Amino acid sequence: MSHNLTRVKRVHNPKYQPSGLKSYVFLLNKYNFGPTKPGPYFQGGKVQQKGKHGLGRLFGGKAQVQKVLQKRNTTDGQPGDVPAEDQQNDSQYLCTVTVGTPPQTFKLDFDTGSADLWVWSTELPKSTNTSGHNVFDPKKSSTFKKTVGSSWKISYGDGSNASGDVGTDNVDVGGLVIQKQSIELAKTLSAQFSSGVGDGLLGLAFGSINTVAPKPVATPVENMIAQTDIPKISELFTAYLGSYKDKNDPDHGASFYTFGYLDEKALNGQTPYYTPIDNSKGFWQFNSTTASVGSKKIQRAGNTAIADTGTTLALVDDSLCKAIYDAIPGAKYDDQQQGYLIPSNITVDQLPVVSFDVGGKEFAVQKEDLTFADAGDGFTYGGIQSRGDLPFDILGDTWLKGIYAIFDQGNKRFGAVVRDDPTQDPSVPASQ
């Protein structure tokens, strides 16, 4: 079988406004963990009549006490709901994918931390503001077939959700066409899901955490493998995540995914380092038992981490967080921002080299990615923050930008090589 394999470019979203706290609140929702550092957001309990799968405990009858993300009122300290505008609901980078016959084009967030492929659809209520979005119309695709009796629902820790029906159709990812791929059509979108410019999401985690009921469906990569759309010897995809800060580097900030092959230019003559993954929770999870901050080596016995392209920050345990920011002159923790801040006038030589272990070998965060977004008053929100009560690290774009990441699904392993970015710029744009 011939394979038409090309790069799938990540396109920067010009409307994206980076916000440290909003990005952190998004992660509190996505992974439903409790903060362990002080701030306005916390995990409270609410009694609800109809619970969500896997959350809370029975509290008589059909009621459940569920863990719900809440926000303290700034005036009286009383708990309340988290407004949609308090979290980052937009994607910094999006990839173009087409669905159906003839093809309908969508800009999707590629996310190794989830396993659903969902799109905006004509099944949304007429009152939905679809301005600026590409909306899938199944009636205009001759290859679409509805999956009778199936539905999907993604729920976050604040009660926000997206849900709808399911069908199958042809999906084109960078010229590679997946036949009869399950597509999840949005029928309802709460504000947290509808306020960004993206048209949906393409999950690259494992199908065991797909939300389609009564039976989860295969992910695009699982179908690429089953349909031999990608070579048997390369049942993998890769992520090369660039940045606007890299425009003066040799790769000029190139940003892309590949499916079914390793990009030789991205490898840059290096041999990938691989480590086995544990996908029992559906994630790209591996052992990460050490870290380094400057010349200080930190032992983290039993620790694991997941690689998540759908996360802008990196989240680690509180003791490691403290060690990192203790090594940065003038850095501090801010209760109102619920995160660590770095002086905006910090220079590259003042920043330590911070590295995380990948199954026996450490890979560093680029110094320029230790700073994430303007926090006001002469400070910048740090790219590494607390993982709260989560039992594992989340290594998002902050860390992934420093490597060429290889997600080898066929061999159940994660690989990496160091990305060549000689120019480092820790400055961030001022908030608009």
Catalytic residues: 111, 308
CA distance 314 to 104: 34
How many other CB atoms are there within 10 angstroms of residue 300's CB atom?
A: 19
Which of 367, 369, 353, 351 shows the shortest CA–CA distance to 297? 353
In the chain, the N- to C-terminal Cα span, in Å, equals 51
Which of 87, 71, 183, 206 shows the shortest CA–CA distance to 135? 183
Enumerate long-range contacts of 349-355, CB under 8 Å, 24 or more apart: 351/426, 352/293, 352/294, 352/324, 352/327, 352/328, 353/292, 353/293, 353/294, 354/291, 354/292, 354/293, 354/324, 354/384, 355/291, 355/292
Which amino acid, 220?
P
Which of 385, 378, 379 shows the shortest CA–CA distance to 339? 385
Q: What are phi and psi of 272, to 5 degrees?
A: -60, 145
CA distance 274 to 251: 24
- Polymer length in residues for the chain: 432
Phi-psi region of 32 (alpha: psi -120 to 50; beta: other; left: phi over 0): left
How many other CB atoms are there within 10 angstroms of residue 333's CB atom?
A: 18
